[in-house]
Amino acid sequence: MTKNILTTAFVLAGALLSGPSLAQDYPTRTITMNMPYSAGGPGDTIARLLAQGMSGPLKQQVIVENTTGAGGSIGSAKVAASPPDGYNLLLIHISHATNPALYPKLKYDPIKDYEPIGLAVDLPSVFVARKDLPAANLAEMIAWIKTNKEKVNYAHAGIGSASHLCGLLLNTATGTQPTQIAYRGAGPAMNDMMSGQVDVMCDQIVNVVGNVDGGTIKGYAVTSTEKAPALPKLPTTAEAGLPGFTYTVWYGLFAPKGTPKPIIDKLVAALNVALKDETVKSRLAGLGVQPVAPERATPDALAAHLKSEIDKWTPIIKAAGVVGAQ
């Protein structure tokens, strides 16, 4: 009995002593940035640029791992269950705020089960269509959808994806109900749009710049309040006849709950270095993506933003009656 008590005491003492040391030495090995969306999609592209930018200041390689499915909730659950040691991170977009409403049996709490590190980037989406769609502008596209109703195929990257959420907003704003075609990622959805198998989509600008410029799809409008430098010829939704419609996709970086503050501090610093890196900024800009201001790349800013987004999206999703399959 006495021996067991002494053993337990030594283990606890060792844990208390090693905690600060581990945080001080962090990182000593490769860090995994979990991207819960498909390889080759918009989130994957952003994750790889940020991982590259953070590897330098952390003096360890940051790799990207794709664990996809259920609107990003499978990859999110994986990180929530990971050891809180700073070696498994989650880069996720707006779906972190919408998944609680979409998936009633979610295996994690987006607020309680993570330590926020900071917001990373903001980007608009773009209304696009197959290149032979008989609509010359956004107003004509909406009129065409209203005329053809359920015959119209709206493509998205799966329930809870950024393209799915943009479609919900479009339905609400215009009173339209096109047929929803869900894909396992934005890449496959875009491939089918380029081949003319689906009609319209509202996708993150990262995924459409090259295809719009190349003429393989039509671009109608960006969902931001200002024109996108990466697609300067496209009007905003307000300019194109849909006033009041704005939609910004944000990406934030999280660690498992309980990750020591010294480790979080190092990750915050590395994120900010990456967002200021000229190579990273240039490549993001070419894709239409803007790094957030330094004051938003902080734990407090991300925590506040996440809560406000949950409050915003929950009633929209419940009103739409959408439930994801788990």
DSSP three-state, residue 50: helix
260 or 157: which leads in pLDDT: 260
Q: What is the distance, to the nearest Å, from the Cα of residue 215 to the centroid of all Cα atoms in its chain?
A: 26
> CA 159, 51, 164 angle in degrees (round to 5)?
15
The H-or-E segment that residue 99 falls in is helix 95-102
**pLDDT confidence of residue 11:** 41
Q: How far apart are CA 153 and CA 126, in angstroms?
A: 17
Q: Return the H-helix or E-strand segment holding 252.
A: strand 248-256
Average pLDDT over residues 163-190: 91
**CA atoms within 13 A of residue 132's CA, in its CB half-sphere:** 5
**Residues forming a β-bridge with 200:** 129, 154
Selected residue with higher pLDDT from 319 and 266? 266
Task: Report the percentage of the chain scoring pLDDT > 70.
Answer: 92
Q: Which residue has the higher pLDDT, 279 or 70?
A: 279
Averaged confidence pLDDT in the chain: 91
For residue 234, give the DSSP letter: S
Residue 158's pLDDT is 87
20-29, 130-139, 186-195, 264-273: which range is least confident on average?
20-29
Q: Are 229 and 220 contacting, i.e. CB atoms less than 8 angstroms apart?
A: no
Architecture of domain 2-122+249-320: 3-Layer(aba) Sandwich (3.40)
Asked if 190 and 211 touch (Cβ cutoff 8 Å), the reply is yes
Q: What residues contact residue 86 under an 8 Å CB cut-off, 6+ apart? A: 26, 27, 31, 255, 259, 260, 263, 264, 266, 267
Q: What is the CATH number of domain 124-222?
A: 3.40.190.10
The residue ranges of every structural domain in the chain are: 2-122+249-320, 124-222
CB 248 within 8 A of CB 123: yes
Q: Give yes or no for a contact between 41 and 35, defined as CB atoms under 8 angstroms apart.
A: no
Instruction: Name residue 303's amino acid.
Output: A
Q: Give yes or no for a contact between 72 and 254, defined as CB atoms under 8 angstroms apart.
A: no
Asked if residue 2 has pLDDT above 90, the reply is: no
Lowest mean pLDDT among 19-33, 207-221, 304-318: 19-33
Res 14: pLDDT: 47
Judged against a pLDDT cut of 50, whether residue 64 lies above it is answered with yes
2-122+249-320 shares its CATH topology with 124-222 = yes
Q: Which of 178, 175, 176, 174 is nearest to 242 (CA)?
A: 174
CA distance 43 to 21: 34
CB burial readout 238-267, b (16+ within 10 A) else e:
bebbbeebebebbbbbbbbeebbeebbebb
pTM given for the model: 0.86
* pLDDT digits 0-9 by tens, 23-51: 789 999 999 999 998 888 889 999 999 99
Tens of pLDDT, residues 233-246: 999 999 999 999 99
